[in-house]
Amino acid sequence: MRGDADQSFWRDKRVLLTGHTGFKGSWLALWLESLGARVTGIALPPITEPNLFDLAGIDEVTDSNLLDVRDAAGMAKATRNANPEIVFHLAAQPLVRASYKEPLETLSTNIQGTAILLDALRHLTGPRVVVVITTDKVYQNREHSRPYREDDALGGHDPYSASKAAAELVVASYRDSFLAAKGVAVATARAGNVIGGGDWSADRLIPDAIRAWEGGAALFVRHPAAVRPWQHVLEPLWGYLRLAQCLWQDPALAGPYNFGPHTEESSTVREVITRARSAYGKGEISWGDGTDGPHEAGLLALDIAKARSAVGFNPRWTLDNSIRHTLDWYRRQSAGESARALCQADIADFEATPQWPQ
């Protein structure tokens, strides 16, 4: 069950991708298109300007539907029209700090939106595999040094984390009550913090740095000592592709999976942004003391043993390599190079990189 995303498997597969207008969704749409899949996208319009969806022409490689996942009638119609075999659910309100400002919006999108999608899918005969993307923040964070495993307790201090933990329960309920009996293999994917070119979201470390440094301002870092499982966006996306292939072949693999770096690659915010400045070649930094803004977890790491053994997931790029690719992407795109070509080049480079030893 180990190996790369298999082009012969993905060719002509009908894939429904929610959240295709977002950062991760745009990258996944391009990768699926390169594998020969027929991709239908469902999402709201992009929320940032600039954004990767427009710059990379994602509407040209997908059947793009601009739709709110909380629109039950619209989702039922769109999923019927797509008649997917494989579903990746990425549509979400994805930001912790935004969830403090708009808690009800976050809860309804991430919980109700997930339930509406799954309810639409249970009335179809085509789906074989559903992968719902949640987050590494679904765990009840006890600030201990042991990486979290898939059977650890769920929790959520902030509305975003709580919404994703609740979505995990919704997914398990629909799988056990409806979808498993129909032969649909359903899994959740809990990914660590991702970086990569084309993200212009607010309150994310690298996008904030790019905005500050391109404008000649100092980047303010709120929590420099916070530890996170950083990884390039292509790492978990490759994990999602492998997971879907394996679920197709063996539905008994359904369940939750962590996708992150090796434990020793988890790093502090200070380490990441210091390396990013070095890769970028310039930039001032103002270090906070961890007291600015609402509560954020200080320590978070993931145990990826299950994904390694069950679906053959193993990281490829070190943190330094991930940062180098990310900052190089922004530099070259700002200089006028094609966003789509830069993504395609990173995908090709990633596919050519061997996995780390087990």
Which DSSP state fits 302? B
- E strand or H helix at 109: none
pLDDT in tens, 227-255: 999 999 999 999 999 999 999 999 999 99
Per-residue pLDDT band at 165 (split at 50, 70, 90): very high
Q: Is the pLDDT of residue 348 over 60?
A: yes
Q: How many whole angstroms separate alpha carbon 233 and alpha carbon 27?
A: 8
CB 139 within 8 A of CB 258: no
Q: How many whole angstroms separate alpha carbon 202 and alpha carbon 348?
A: 28
| Structure confidence at residue 293 (pLDDT) | 76
Per-residue pLDDT band at 290 (split at 50, 70, 90): confident
Distances (CA, A) of 12 to 7, 83, 184, 334: 10, 13, 19, 34
Strands (E) in the chain, as ranges, are 14-18, 38-43, 63-66, 86-89, 129-133, 185-191, 194-195, 218-221, 227-228, 231-232, 255-259, 267-268, 284-287
| Structure confidence at residue 280 (pLDDT) | 93
Per-residue pLDDT band at 1 (split at 50, 70, 90): very low
Nearest to 147 by CA among 266, 14, 322, 310: 266
Per-residue pLDDT band at 272 (split at 50, 70, 90): very high
Q: Is the pLDDT of residue 3 over 80?
A: no
Alpha helices in 182-290 (DSSP H): 205-214, 234-249, 269-280
Q: How many whole angstroms separate alpha carbon 67 and alpha carbon 90?
A: 13
Q: How many whole angstroms separate alpha carbon 321 and alpha carbon 195?
A: 11
| Structure confidence at residue 2 (pLDDT) | 40
| Structure confidence at residue 5 (pLDDT) | 72
Mean pLDDT across 134-163: 94
Torsion of CA 136, 140, 144, 145, to 10 degrees: -20
Per-residue pLDDT band at 117 (split at 50, 70, 90): very high
Q: How many whole angstroms separate alpha carbon 121 and alpha carbon 276?
A: 42
pLDDT in tens, 66-115: 999 999 999 999 999 999 999 999 999 998 989 999 999 999 999 999 99
pLDDT in tens, 176-235: 999 999 999 999 999 989 999 999 999 899 999 999 999 999 999 999 999 999 999 999
Q: What is the mean pLDDT of the chain?
A: 95
Q: How many helices (H) and strands (E) does the chain have?
A: 14, 13
The structure tokens 């319009």 sit at 45
Q: Is the pLDDT of residue 4 over 80?
A: no
Lowest pLDDT segment from 22-36, 133-147, 161-175: 133-147
Mean pLDDT across 158-173: 97
pLDDT in tens, 310-333: 999 999 999 999 999 999 999 999
CB 4 within 8 A of CB 25: no
Q: How many whole angstroms separate alpha carbon 188 and alpha carbon 24?
A: 16
Mean pLDDT across 134-150: 93
**Whole-number CA gyration radius for the chain:** 19
Length of the chain: 358
* Assigned fold of 7-352: Rossmann fold (3.40.50)
- pLDDT above 90 covers what percent of the chain? 89
Residue 33: both structure tokens together: 């298109």
For the chain, give every domain's residue range: 7-352
Residue type for position 24: K
